[in-house]
Chain A
Amino acid sequence: MMSDKQKLVVIGNGMAGARTVEEILARGGGQQFDITMFGDEPYGNYNRILLSNVLNGTQDPADIFLNPLEWYTENTVTLHAPARVTQIDRARKEICSDDGQVTSYDKLLIATGSRPFVPPMEGLKGPQGEDKHGVFVFRTIDDCHKIAGYANKCRKAAVIGGGLLGLEAARGLLNYGVEVHVIHLAPWLMNNQLDAQGGKILTSIMEKMGVHVHLEKATAAVLGEDSVTGLQFKDGTILDCDMVIISAGITPNNELARDCGLTVERAIVTDNQMRSVDDPDIYVVGECAQHRGRVYGLVAPLWEQGQVLADHITGSNENAAYHGSKIATKLKVMGVELASMGVTEASDDRDEVVIFSEPKRGTYKKLIIRDGILIGAMMLGDLNKVAYLMQAFDRGTPLPEERLSLLFDIGAPSVEATMLEMPDTAQICNCNGVSKGQIRKCVEGGKRSLKMVMEATRAGMGCGSCKKLVSEVVEWAAEGQIEEDPSIHFYVPGVALVKSELVEVIMARGLKSVSSVFDTLAHGVEDAGSKMGLASLLKSLWGAEYEDERDARYINDRVHANIQKDKTFSVIPRIFGGVTTADELIKIGQVAKKYNVPMVKFTGGQRIDLLGITKENLPKVWKDLGMPSGHGYAKSFRTCKTCVGTDFCRYGVGDSTGLGIKIEKRFQGIESPGKLKLATAGCPRNCSEAMVKDLGAVAVEGGNWEIYVGGAAGAHIRKGDILCIVDSHEAVLQIMGRFMQYYIETAKYLERTSSFVERIGMDKIRAVVVEDSEGIAARLDAAIQASVDAYVDPWLEADTPATANQFVSTLPVMQA
């Protein structure tokens, strides 16, 4: 059946093309047009801006997609990708693409963007005319992967071009452990956005970061036979390097338009409706469009262009017109705060320049004001006032007389005043294109916390640089009625009680299962995020009487192994105190061979990890090993690392190995609010890092042991505090057990000992655990003893699965 819709064909599936199609759909364009898109990258549309984060390792490529392939299906947009359009035939209203198709259109949208500009230089190609190994540009996801792959093998990299992109690339390369050199033609970095003084400060910041900067250098040739060995400059000097990224500007992709006779100057010339000036059926948007003599290389203008275009093409506002954009830039280099807008120098007698400069601290602020209106600004080192200045610049609102407050936060203009002046259409989040109005509506719709607004609008969830501004808008829109999420005080978010109240009710009502807690205390509303915390608490309260419901456990605790990114699991058998035997190692080796274990690794916890075991094989592997679980997955006692101590070490003053083995045998697998990692050291040289463990025992001269608690050396680092000094292994075991029980009873779910100790205070802990100030020491000792006695190795479930199909990932279908 022929459709009576018009055919809209879009060339280019990048940020402008896809965004414009979204705008068209949002105006009901799906009813008017059959939309077909061509993109020569083999993906849906992704956020090109975030490639800098992909390169510097802070973001995963999978996370930067704006329109994944499903989006096209869901919106009945036909996407041809990878497919490159090779010709536009305006007479027949058809386009040809390199997959051999001819597609006819009623309306055409050109959104081909631009490509990196490669300045002429010798030696870009290898002997056979192929691209020389080690020469890259930085524009696409594929470029990113290629750069990362090559950089891993490189020693020294050069980036040609010290503009926004070049510096972001240079910073990214540092992460690959290469020495990075930036080659820049102009006398200072980012010369389009900064003046000489600002450029100089930026150079010193980049150099402190480890990037070598070479100014006023023109590259004459890339050296090396078939791969890069260096660069030669026009002044005759040479820089050795084994890779080069060329980031010297962009060239709009104009060829298609030029070949079919459209007016092309620097880019394709458009009118105020974003149509080619020659053909009312051809629209142009993005970096390939030239409007009133200007070509933009940033995303904010193309959002505005897309809106006008969509208004016009769908007829939802025939009078929509684009009048050009004022642009502001921010550098996305970790550790550098830099924003710039408008002109960089005064050019008229009327111009007033306000400058603050503190080069040693890397701070530089400059404003250029004409007749009371901001026409240019640069801010380096401190972006506090940028949000306000950007608004004032964009709208041309008169600045307050008092200039000092424009540079620093000393009172006016208040956030309140700024917010009132800011129009609803002002874009707050440039990555996801969220306006002040959208945020305001979201808040008015009842979402009164930053987190809720971010989740609902996606504002602030791209590069993150606008988060502060988003929170200001939220606060302003909520008129101070910001909701603090009360659940942060609850033991688990789904049951509105703090831990002590919860324990009281659970005991009073005899609630022994997670589902009974939901039924009784949460109106029957089951909350996934609360299940594990409740299970942990109930088990510590009821011991053997606890009614275990397996669905309350995280997958790791259902199958007693840690899940991996490919859905396999890791198996870490227990090796008490890190001491093993030849037979045990042979056994582990045999098992690894039998099951083709992809990786056998010594862990940081002094034992061996078999990684990559399928769920089905877990019970078999455990049985073949014949060793107990090392609990490398649970919120429980993990390991006790030891050092060689008095047995072998010439400094050892206490038997740390023997003590560590005793500790691990006693407390293995005891469940707790957070992981418990222990260590014993034979002397204060502390080779087993006992001072930064949840619990550590360090032997000191005179046959004594110092007991440390609350140490941490993971995401957060903290030296443990001395709890007490005791004189025997037995005393260490007793104090450690008592501390653990007190922690189990008092800590919040997932609160590691390092936070726990700080919250409760060492004086209080010492009083309870060592001096028995509350008279509960005997009860704590008995409780931990009961847990030790009740301990059963979970790997015994290999023989007696606890639930149906516990170790099955896919069940057969009986009949079809």
Chain B
Amino acid sequence: MADVIHDAVDYVPPLVVEEEELYHAKTWLGKYVFSQDAKVIAIQYSATAIGVGVVALCLSVLMRLQIGWPDTFAFIDPTNYLQFVTMHGMIMVVYLLTALFLGGFGNYMIPLMIGARDMAFPYANMLSFWFYFVSVVILLASFFVPGGATGAGWTLYPPQAIMPGTPGTDLGILLMLASLAVFIIGFTMGGLNYLTTVLQLRTRGMSLMRMPLTVWAIFTATVLALLAFPALLVSAIMMALDTLLGTSFFMPAIISAGAQTDYSGGSPVLFQHLFWFFGHPEVYIVALPAFGLVSDIISVHARKAIFGYRMMVWAIVAIGALSFIVWAHHMYVSGMNPYFGFFFATTTLIIAVPTAIKVYNWVLTLWRGNIKTTVPMLFAIGFVFTFINGGLTGLFLGNVTIDLPLSDTYFVVAHFHMVMAVSPVLVVFGSIYHWYPKITGRMYNDTMARIHFWCTFVGSYAIYYPMHYLGIQGMPRRYFSYGETEFISAGSGDLNAAISVAAIFVAVSQIFFFVNIIGSLFRGEKADPNPWDATTLEWQTPQTPPGHGNFDDLPLVYRWAYDYSVPGYEQDFIPQNVSPAESERMAKRIEKA
């Protein structure tokens, strides 16, 4: 009997798919520019995303200058302001966060964490990045065309998105739609890659339930993105036809500049349905990878197994499935049937259940853990705080009656920035610090990283907490200036100036991040291959940074990703590729001691 158990214990299932010869680049161009290595593509994706993110950050500073000190800066007029709002939103949500989490972290983490040599389709992966790059170029080009970039808001609602009077109705809106279409085509190539790689290229022994939560989360986010982005593509195609060929998909009979237009009978609300059918899953496309990455960071730096691993997996999948039936909570004021509002409010509150499960599990993982307050851990704990804050205001906005007065006020701005801007960005920073030693082979400067964390964390609260108050007063968002109103209190101007100071402070303090990340490439001390004593496969590579093909021999996996502080072992972590025989020897050593 004992023999049988031992057989089962040491049994390693065979590879599902035979290993194929890796593509080896022969030229410099093929190795670094049109690279087919997922790690290089990941860095290309991340660098492009962060670069365009800096543009969006500058736009937000310009917006804050106008709101904080109206009528002071002559170079910001209402047209510019609306363009800044639009481009800031679109870049941050789609071109920064989606691209960084799925294209950046997805490409780097998936093959390494599941023990594969590369993605399933390296060539399509390379194309995916270059499509993304072209989409970014098209997007940025729209600043420089006649009429400038579109100023329709990131939601691009028709009819105003394509009617004269809105900035950028000449070419701006068309370039925006074209850029989105190219992005979606590029993402589809990447997304099918992530999907297939997770399903088919896991190394032997890496069953689905032994995958780190990062992989589960990125995988589920990919499925969401593959199903949700078509809605954006469909609405972009239809809106482009309305603009170019005069069809009336979304355009109602409308009078423009005193004259009747040729449009008739289109439905703007149909666009809203399509847009938010993409838009709400998009929130979780951004949030789920953050959930996954933060679960792994917390577990590693608390030296404790993640609490409720299976429940975490199911929560990720449940959030993903539910995220498709909550979209109309963005449309309570669009005049839809009130029963719809009731339905969508209910589903919205239900989605809080799996989300709360995740929050409890993070907190319970920390409970009695051996918490190391390293920089990644600071960011991870900062994320949990911020996410709870943002999530709680979501309960207000999810209810129809409370949402109606708060709709389109700064309360909404505060809510979504807390929950899907600051929270994921904290995870982005935490993850970059966490994996920096593996990606570059060098350690970042700890002091600078800590300064960066505190400035970002405290500064974000200084920006967004006061906004809740402004929003409850009824201060509307997206306005260029406010003038005299009855409902906005006298001190709000000063408060806005204070928020702007905080915003500029946070924006400037990102210098600590860039100086640190770039400077440590050259001056950072050599990093240990596994500086955090982590169990997952990416830390067990023979070279640091991992070479082409990731591993010498593909690792065999014998356990889950969370064997931290296992009772009876001196070493407080057991990597996933340690066989039972080896771990037996590890256990015996402390018995002797």
Asked if A and B are interacting partners, one says: no
